[in-house]
Amino acid sequence: MSYDINKVKMVISDVDGVWTDGAIYKGKDGIELKRFCVTDGAGVALLREAGLELALISGRHSDATAERAKELKIDNVYNGTLNKIPPYNALKEKFNLTDDEIAYIGDDMIDIPVMELVGVPIATENASNTCKAVAVHITEKSGGYGAFREAVEWILTEQGRLANVFDSLRKKVQNQK
């Protein structure tokens, strides 16, 4: 599959299995907990600094997902959407993008329909084999262990922008009081 990484203007990601290891912890009173990797939050900062848009499309509704997205100030969140094509199309329209301007990070069957549309489909190390088969890149890290950040760094490296984005972000952090 050929792709042009330099066209990517937006990254869309699944949540469970990409931002998390896919495990769900349920408490007695129905409280749900998920484990998120802090370095993925740094991946969000890198995307912002690079001027790329970000959206999350999760097949399963989760208050934990909504809370993590709120904490990271991710505005484009579709939480509990098994059919990911309608939110994908809404995002394309909202940001006036074409398929080849979007990268998608996924790990399982429900991600494949979107992965088959985007310009740059990415799978996590822990992804299903069917998901990996449609990806142009597979992360070395598993979901929940920095796979999202790794994917972001791969995109920026392939675009030849990672060093400049790191440098710019570092300067911003150093100038904060």
Residue 54 sits in which domain range? 1-18+40-71+84-94+111-146+162-177
This prediction has a pTM of 0.95
| Residue 129 forms part of a structural domain | yes
Count other C-beta atoms under 10 Å from residue 168's C-beta: 14
Which parts of 21-174 fold into alpha helices (H)?
Answer: 38-50, 63-71, 85-95, 112-115, 129-134, 147-158, 162-174
Q: Cα 37 to the chain's mean position, in Å?
A: 13
Mean of the per-residue pLDDT values of the chain: 96
| Residue 55 forms part of a structural domain | yes
pLDDT in tens, 113-144: 999 999 999 999 999 999 999 999 999 999 99
Count other C-beta atoms under 10 Å from residue 175's C-beta: 7
What's the pLDDT at 108? 97
pLDDT > 90 in the chain, percent: 91
Q: For the residues 25-32, what does the mean pLDDT come to?
A: 88
What's the pLDDT at 176? 85
Q: For the residues 50-67, what does the mean pLDDT come to?
A: 96
pLDDT in tens, 59-103: 999 999 999 999 999 999 999 999 999 999 999 999 999 999 999
For residue 115, give the H/E element and its range.
helix 112-115
User: What is 132-167 written as a DSSP string?
Assistant: HHH-SEE-SSPTTTTHHHHHHHHHHHHTT-HHHHHH
For residue 78, give the H/E element and its range.
strand 77-79
What's the pLDDT at 134? 98
Give me the CATH number covering residue 48.
Answer: 3.40.50.1000
Q: For the residues 166-173, what does the mean pLDDT come to?
A: 92
| Residue 155 forms part of a structural domain | no
| Residue 122 forms part of a structural domain | yes
Structure tokens at 54: 């970000």
Domains in the chain: how many in total? 1
| Residue 79 forms part of a structural domain | no
Q: At CA 78, angle to CA 165 and CA 13, rounded to 5? A: 40
What's the pLDDT at 177? 67
Q: For the residues 34-58, what does the mean pLDDT come to?
A: 97
Asked if residues 59 and 51 have their Cβ atoms less than 8 Å apart, the reply is no
